[in-house]
Amino acid sequence: MTVFIIRRLSQSLLVLFITSIIVFAGIYAIGNPIDILIAPDATFAEREQAIKALGLDQSLIEQYGTFLWNALHGDLGRSFVFNQPSIDLILNRMPATLELAFVALFLSLAIGIPLGLWSGLRPNSVLDETVMTGSILGFSLPNFWQGMMLIMIFSVWLGWLPSTGRGEVDTVLGMRTSLTSWSGISHLILPAFNLALFKISLVTRLTRSGVRENMPLDFVKFARAKGLSERRIVSVHVLKNIMIPIVTVVGVEFGGIIAFAIVTETIFAWPGMGKLLIDSIMRLDRPVVVAYLLVVVTLFIVINFVVDILYSLLDPRIRLGSAA
Amino acid sequence: MNSTSRLKRLGLVASTAIFIAMSPALAADITLGSSTEPSSLDPQFSRTGNNQNVAAQIFDRLIEPDPNLQVTPALAESWTNVDPTTWRVKLRPGVVFQDGSPLTTEDVIYSLERAKDIPNSPAPFSGNVGAIASMKAVDPLTIEFKTKSPTPEFIEQIGLVYIVQKKLAEGKSIEAFNDRSAAIGTGAYKVKEWVPGDHITLVRNDKFWGKKPAFDTVTIKFIANDAARVAALRSGSVDLIDAVPPGDVKTLEKTKGIKLSSIASARNIYLALDSSRDESPFVVGADGKPLNPNPLKDQRVRQALSKLINRQLIVDRLLDGAGEPAGQLVPVGIGGSDPSLKPTAPDVAGAKKLLADAGFPQGFGITLHTSNDRFAGDAETAQAIGQMFAQGGLKVNGVVAQPYNVYATAAGKQTFSAFIFSLGNTTPTSATGLRNLLMTQNKEAGTGSFNRTKYSNPAFDAKMKEAMAEFDVEKRVALLKEATKIAIDDVGFVPLFWPKVYWASKDNITYTANRGEDFMATLAGQAQ
């Protein structure tokens, strides 16, 4: 286990270092942020002043050197646009995104697994066909379009749910959350559902195929011979066996939900960090983009680590030392 | 019995009706859906529209632009030009900040001093205060300014800098504004809360010196996505939105309970032609190599290209009418606009003749460049112009559209030959725009900062210098018109159109359309 962690950690640092170089040089190659940030009627003097203030008069190597030196001291630089530490900007927006991601994850598991079990246990029934067709829709309809439809139906026509923003927010245990009031929850429903639709389909399909694969296996027959109830067989033995692929996929997808919920956050004007990333790329706000992607890479590393640990809990045959 | 209950019911219905009819007037709150968001509450941090929209509701300036961008007095009640380098500005008496402290000459002097050097500001106000040589208070309400050189448009420059409170801002960083402790101005509304990425809440400032603001509470929600912003208005979550996409205008006009206000912006969408170099990379002969001499250097060729463009068609078909064809830099209503300069009429035969006269009867090869996410219809406009050029006998080798963040840098490096760009005008006259876009690039003189084609015309430069040194407003405007005519006759740039900007609101809200594309609650009112 210790070897595993050390090896993982050193790999992670290397990944972070390479990411920083690629992103830094990539954004530098796209263009000069001054051309985007400057006032429409700026004079030469103003332009030069701004270039100097943001350190853009130095060469790429010098700029990267400064960045790396500061980063090693825990400072990822200040945003060109906001003039605030980029890490603060990201962390300020993270709770909103985490909240959205966790609710979406919860929805996808809470809806996807029962649906998958249900249709997997009754293959080729009307119900199974319906669920499978429905999941194709969930897969294939673009996220953006789904979002607009949700808004048109539930906000514009029915007027049940608000279409934009985050609603009331309370501070619980130091985290700002909107789960404590109806205003907050009502604002959360549409974006969370929009984000979850794809995942629900994914989990349903994974669960269904897992169930179909496992039901004819010997351990199910033994369990039946032993006299266990069908309910126990499915909910304990089968479910545990099919969880490994689900955990793997959901783990990776969860990282994706957190880091790149951009479409949903944009449509619903959700003040999360996905929107920050896209805005920062459009405005070439390099410190924020670099810091963001470093945070995201870290996040993925952590999630993969958790997934590996979950494997060993779900299936005692898997040992972490050799898994890496 | 029957009749009484019916009467009662009628009464109930009537009182409900009255209540419903009155409720818009009672609910003096408004929610705005804004396409942009400020990057800071420090009003001097960035001169871009995103920040100014919010800053102008909390803070005031010495002057205030009206919907046609013309100067009206704000914190300055009057100003006089004592001699070419001396100005006296008299402050409005009795103005207090939102915390009750009075506005003094010290606050104004401090604010103008501060604007010179805001740390890490990407779009500073330093140019606005660059002319100041010294300032001193001559009495409690009057400041005397000395300028480094004669500056006729002095008040238009310093007048646009936001005035902050010295005792709150001195020695403080941007954080003091963002946490609201220094964001206390003299403006119509006070900040109550700012949640970046989500919304900002403003409340009425009862101590405001000007017209009483129409709303008690203003919530500005940041909804960058066009479709989502329109949906938010239609679902009723917001009362008023800006930047209505042209494609949605027709639908919204037909929607019950929603109305639109619009005006042509002072932003000019133009085609820039690389006319200064002997060879231009995307103007090629039959062999695919750049032509030498570059045809675009010839005024007749530029004239021909302008004649090939059907501006009205572009506006009608591509923008659904959301634009006004342009024949010069600024529209009517802004100083220096010349009513006699009409948009060049499409004339394919005339253009072909001009091309033949210039020695290109067979045309030449050209590639157009454009952004694809900067303003409505930018890529489509370039496509259409490409087809129009092809009709005139040119060989259009391609129309390349790029995202603005890539495009803007490349355009500034003389990478392209013919490219579409926009120039926002935020000043009362065309002087600033003409100076930045068309005067010969010269860092010391501060001219030509957006002259991406390095266009240079000595006659135009001379006329502009004369105009910029003229103190008499009428004479200055006349000179600007003359300068504009020189540049247009020479086709220094090819003006295309001024986009129309739209605001949409619920029926009970009015909005003052303005050429500066400003979006603020101070311009909104309640319909009678």
Summarize pLDDT for B129-160 with one digit per residue, the tens.
Answer: 999 999 999 999 999 999 999 999 999 999 99
pLDDT at A171 over 90: no
Across the range A116-127, mean pLDDT stands at 86
Considering the domain delimited by A93-319, tell me its CATH architecture: Orthogonal Bundle (1.10)
- pLDDT band of residue A319 (cuts 50, 70, 90) is low
- pLDDT band of residue A163 (cuts 50, 70, 90) is confident
Q: Where are the domains of chain A?
A: 2-72, 93-319
Which of A50-64, B276-290, B296-310 comes out lowest in average pLDDT? Answer: A50-64
Q: What is the reported pTM?
A: 0.84
Which of A168-177, A279-288, B469-478 comes out lowest in average pLDDT? Answer: A168-177
Span(s) in chain B for CATH 3.40.190.10: 26-40+174-265+501-526
CA distance A47 to chain B (A): 8
pLDDT at B16 over 70: no
Q: List pLDDT tens digits, range B428-461.
A: 999 999 999 999 999 888 899 899 999 999 999 9
Please name the member of B48, B120, B449 whose beta carbon is closest to the beta carbon of A54.
Answer: B120
Please name the member of B48, B223, B433 whose beta carbon is closest to the beta carbon of A164.
Answer: B223
Beta bridge partners of B61: B162
CA distance A95 to chain B (A): 13
Please name the member of B48, B121, B227 whose beta carbon is closest to the beta carbon of A53.
Answer: B121
pLDDT at B6 over 80: no
Question: Alpha helix locations (H) across B100-236?
Answer: 105-114, 154-158, 166-169, 174-178, 226-234
State the residue for tokens 């001291």. A73
Residues B436, A271: C-beta atoms closer than 8 Å: no
Residues B120, A47: C-beta atoms closer than 8 Å: no
pLDDT at B364 over 60: yes
Mean pLDDT score of chain B: 91
Q: List pLDDT tens digits, range A141-156.
A: 888 888 888 888 888 8
Q: What percent of chain A has pLDDT over 90?
A: 7
Q: List pLDDT tens digits, range B313-360.
A: 999 999 989 999 999 999 998 999 999 999 999 999 999 999 999 999
Q: List pLDDT tens digits, range B236-290.
A: 889 999 999 988 998 999 999 999 999 999 999 999 999 999 999 999 998 889 9
Residue A259: which of A202, A311, A308, A301 has the closest Cα?
A301
Q: Which residue out of B195, B252, B430, B518 would a mutagenesis test of the A interface target, given it has the greatest number of A Cβ atoms within 10 Å?
A: B195
State the residue for tokens 């006759």. B489
Q: CA separation (Å) from A270 to A93, A106, B221?
A: 10, 18, 10
State the residue for tokens 């046609």. B68
Considering the domain delimited by B58-169, tell me its CATH architecture: Alpha-Beta Complex (3.90)
- pLDDT band of residue B19 (cuts 50, 70, 90) is very low
Span(s) in chain B for CATH 3.90.76.10: 58-169
Phi and psi, residue B374, nearest 5°: -90, -45
Across the range A66-72, mean pLDDT stands at 88
- B26-40+174-265+501-526 maps to CATH 3.30.450.20: no
What pLDDT does B8 receive?
A: 43
A27, A289 contact by CB (below 8 A): yes
Beta bridge partners of B136: B144
Please name the member of A32, A47, A78 whose beta carbon is closest to the beta carbon of B449.
Answer: A47
What pLDDT does A258 receive?
A: 81
Q: List pLDDT tens digits, range B94-118.
A: 999 999 999 999 999 999 999 998 8
Q: List pLDDT tens digits, range A7-30.
A: 888 888 898 899 889 988 888 888
- pLDDT band of residue B12 (cuts 50, 70, 90) is very low
What pLDDT does A1 receive?
A: 67
What pLDDT does A128 receive?
A: 86
For the ranges A1-5, A162-166, B445-449, the one whose mean pLDDT is highest: B445-449
Residues A163, B228: C-beta atoms closer than 8 Å: yes
Residues B46, A281: C-beta atoms closer than 8 Å: no
What pLDDT does A321 receive?
A: 57
Which of A65-69, B24-28, B425-429 comes out lowest in average pLDDT? Answer: B24-28
What pLDDT does A174 receive?
A: 67
Query: Distance between CA atoms of A220 and B495, rounded to whole angstroms?
Result: 77
- pLDDT band of residue A186 (cuts 50, 70, 90) is confident
Residues B127, A45: C-beta atoms closer than 8 Å: yes
Beta bridge partners of B259: B505
Across the range A71-100, mean pLDDT stands at 88
69-108 of A, contacting B, C-beta below 8 A: 78, 80-84, 89, 92-93, 96
CATH number for domain B268-499, candidates 3.10.105.10, 3.40.1170.60, 3.40.640.10, 3.40.50.670: 3.10.105.10
Residues A83, B449: C-beta atoms closer than 8 Å: no
Q: Which residue out of B125, B161, B198 would a mutagenesis test of the A interface target, given it has the greatest number of A Cβ atoms within 10 Å?
A: B198
Across the range A215-221, mean pLDDT stands at 85
Mean pLDDT score of chain A: 84
Beta bridge partners of B33: B221, B241
State the residue for tokens 């944009």. A266
What pLDDT does A46 receive?
A: 84
Which of A44-48, B58-62, B113-117, B451-455 comes out lowest in average pLDDT? Answer: A44-48
Strand ranges (E), B223-304: 240-241, 258-264, 268-273, 283-284
| Token code pair at residue A211 | 């169930």
Report the sign of the C-alpha dihedral through residues A215, A221, A227, A228, in that order: negative
- Residue B208: what residue type? F
Which residues of chain B neighbour A57 with C-beta distances below 8 Å?
none
Q: Which residue out of A34, A37, A83 would a mutagenesis test of the B interface target, given it has the greatest number of B Cβ atoms within 10 Å?
A: A83
Query: Distance between CA atoms of A156 and A136, rounded to whole angstroms?
Result: 26
CA distance A229 to chain B (A): 51
Of the CA atoms within 13 Å of residue B200, those in its CB half-sphere come to 27
**Burial state string for A211-220 with b = 16 or more CB within 10 A and e = fewer than 16:** bbebeeeeeb
What pLDDT does A155 receive?
A: 85
Across the range B214-226, mean pLDDT stands at 93
Residues B127, A43: C-beta atoms closer than 8 Å: yes
∠ Cα B515 B207 B145 (to 5°): 65
Q: Which residue of A has its CA nearest to B226?
A: A267
pLDDT at B11 over 60: no
Query: Distance between CA atoms of B157 and B161, rounded to whole angstroms?
Result: 8
Q: Which residue out of A56, A163, A281 would a mutagenesis test of the B interface target, given it has the greatest number of B Cβ atoms within 10 Å?
A: A163
CB neighbours of residue B436 within 10 Å: 22
Q: Which residue of A has its CA nearest to B411?
A: A35
Q: Which residue of A has its CA nearest to B219?
A: A165
Which residues of chain A neighbour B49 with C-beta distances below 8 Å?
40
CA distance B125 to chain A (A): 8
Please, what's the largest Cα pairwise distance for chain A? 86
